Structure 1
Amino acid sequence: MTNVDVHQHLWSAAFTAALRRRDEPPYLDGWTLHLAGERPYEVAPADHDVDRRAELAVTDGLDLALVSLSAPLGAEWLPHDRARPLLDAYHEGAAELPAPFGAWAATGVRDIDADAAAKDLDLGFAGLQLPANALADAAGYARCAPLLDLLEARGLPLFVHPGPAPGAHPGPGWWPAMVPYVQQMHSAWFAFRAYGRPRHPRLRVCFALLAGLAPLHGERLAARGGEEGRGESDPGMFVETSSYGPRAVEAVARVLGTGQVVQGSDRPYAEPPQQPGFGLGGAAAYAFRIANPRRLLTGKE
């Protein structure tokens, strides 16, 4: 396994067709995406051209690019009968993507169905993605426990991605990505420490967008968290780098160490880094792109 990007998005024809069959958020009107709590977004068709994206992945030097369901759509939060057509279309399209693509499975979090998640994972997905706002507190971890038990039993990782932002600020179009998404990831990081890790000691987990920079609050946790704030580093908790640059990545790597950072781009919504090691040197580039993704995805050094 070499040169891995753990976080990309690529909608198949089956998935876009499923979105167009809907008339309430999330849905596509042509190529205009409508979500609850966000402004209509004009999707660029070229961003989801499979052949073009495969060429870009090769140009980026990737041997594996993991596609995930766009969790801010909110598909996972729909009632089972409304969620399943979108989830089935996503899995159908993702399973047929050519090399170098792989994918994370997705599942409903309003109506938990571990058996359905198991059948989807049987198709060869790398692990399971869950929206961060489903894992923000003790109740969320209790509800999602059957899914996390499944991953732990199979030795597969969890990918935590920002979920929908209903009721988001009606201001600039970038507001949901900068405020609710980041807050969700911050909450999910600390909720996993408090509630997820004690119940799932062997689970490997990766948090999108550097966990909303939550690791940088370790000093405050130590000051306010008592004994809980003095916990040791958790080698099974990873963060990926999407939409951040050298300053943020270096700061997080100084706190966690370079062994817990993996490369993620969030393409097509953000570009991969121009410097593979974010200016930290060749050893960091090797860790972020090769060694750490291997440990995340396989549990092996």
Structure 2
Amino acid sequence: MTTVDVHQHLWSPELLAALRARREPPRLDGWTLLLDGEPPYEVPPAAHDPALRAAIAADDGLGLALVSLSAPIGVEWLPDAEARPLLDAYHEGALALPEPFGAWAAAGVRDIDAKGAAEDLDRGFAGLQLPANALADEDGYARCGPLLDLLEERDLPLFVHPGPAPGASAGPGWWPAMVPYVQQMHAAWFAFQAFGRPRRPRLRVCFALLAGLAPLHGERFAARGDGPARPDPGVFVETSSYGPRAVEAVVRALGVDAVVQGSDRPYAEPPQQPGFGLGGAAAYAFRIANPRRLLTG
């Protein structure tokens, strides 16, 4: 029985070197991350020390911690000639991480390279992460269709994570996490209902940060949208940065089988109570049973 965290970030030495080799954002100047439209961010070196992070994962009792490319830095939205060296570095580094780490693959969404994404997925990744702002409308689902085809062909899940938040520097430091990231996840949740699920009935998908709490709008969707929300055993949400009140509310909306543990380390930590105060059965569901269904079907 493997305990799983589906959402962590760990920048390998290969990815760090590739970001430092760039002369335009996104790039690293030493440990300072420089992005378009956002203030410089000082990256804590210890947060991306593989040995230290492996020890933390062991302390958390994890049998598997899935890392993903940090989609807000915008690698997936670069032209393919710029994105490919960073994607290659990410994939090489992620596969070299020590136990208990596994990883989500990543893919460009500006210039779709289905052949390259297929080769990456076939190297043993858990599934594919795509930025939420690439799957926010019908055009996004059409553009990313070849990537979603790969997941269905291989029976692998999709992980939807917030993408870049340009222009967020006008607000306080917490603004991107609280406004554009949440808005992106909210839009991606309803875009999947409208354009994703009808055309891809077999695709399993996990939305980061409880899908921006979009599931809590089910009553409004029933009144103003397409009728009552239907149970969907292939849709999951992960818990990063949220606590007992939000998780309990989402469980009431979606059921206990839809929630999986995600911590978003090193930007947040897992909850003090693995079941978010909902008991041992919920903890087992969030950390073991539900992640197994997400990852393996």
- Which TM-score band applies after superposition, normalised by the shorter structure? over 0.9
Match of 2:170 in 1: 170
Shift of 1:212: 0.2
Match of 1:69 in 2: 69
Alignment partners' CA distance in 1, 2:201 and 2:211: 19
Match of 1:143 in 2: 143
Aligned Cα root-mean-square deviation (Å): 0.7
> What TM-score does the superposition give when structure 1 sets the normalisation length?
0.98
Q: Is the 8 A contact 1:36 1:165 kept in 2?
A: no
Q: Identify which of 247, 262, 265 aligns with 2:260.
A: 262
Q: Is the 8 A contact 2:205 2:236 kept in 1?
A: yes
Q: Is the 8 A contact 2:39 2:169 kept in 1?
A: no
Alignment partners' CA distance in 2, 1:229 and 1:116: 40
What letter is aligned with 2:266? P
Alignment partners' CA distance in 2, 1:13 and 1:237: 33
Match of 1:15 in 2: 15
Q: Is the 8 A contact 1:14 1:89 kept in 2?
A: yes
Q: Residue deviations 1:156-177, cap 9 Å, x none?
A: 0000000001122512011011
Which moved further from structure 2: 28-37 or 209-218? 28-37
Q: Is the 8 A contact 1:157 1:297 kept in 2?
A: yes
Q: Residue deviations 1:98-155, cap 9 Å, x none?
A: 1100000000000011111010011100000000000000000000011101101110
Match of 1:246 in 2: 244
Which moved further from structure 2: 162-171 or 109-118? 162-171
Q: Which runs of 4 or more aligned residues in structure 1 lie more than 6 Å from their structure 2 counterparts after TM superposition?
A: none
Is the aligned partner of 1:120 residue 2:120?
yes
Shift of 1:15: 0.3
Runs of at least 5 residues in structure 2 that lack an aligned partner in the other structure: none
Instruction: Indicate the SS of the match to 1:164.
Output: coil
Match of 2:156 in 1: 156
Which moved further from structure 2: 163-172 or 269-278? 163-172
What letter is aligned with 1:74? G
Instruction: Indicate the SS of the match to 1:90.
Output: helix
Alignment partners' CA distance in 2, 1:31 and 1:107: 24
- Name the count of aligned residue pairs: 297
Instruction: Indicate the SS of the match to 1:198.
Output: coil
Alignment partners' CA distance in 2, 1:220 and 1:136: 19
Distance 1:206-1:239 versus aligned 2 partners, 3 A rule: same
Calculate percent identity across the aligned residue pairs. Answer: 81
**Within-5 A mapping of 1:178-257:** 178-225=178-225, 228-257=226-255
Shift of 1:278: 0.3
Match of 1:60 in 2: 60
Match of 1:291 in 2: 289
Alignment partners' CA distance in 1, 2:202 and 2:101: 27
Q: Is the 8 A contact 1:38 1:173 kept in 2?
A: no
Alignment partners' CA distance in 2, 1:214 and 1:37: 27
Alignment partners' CA distance in 1, 2:41 and 2:286: 31
**Within-5 A mapping of 1:77-96:** 77-96=77-96
Alignment partners' CA distance in 2, 1:15 and 1:68: 12
Q: Residue deviations 1:212-232, cap 9 Å, x none?
A: 00000001111101xx23241
Alignment partners' CA distance in 1, 2:149 and 2:120: 15
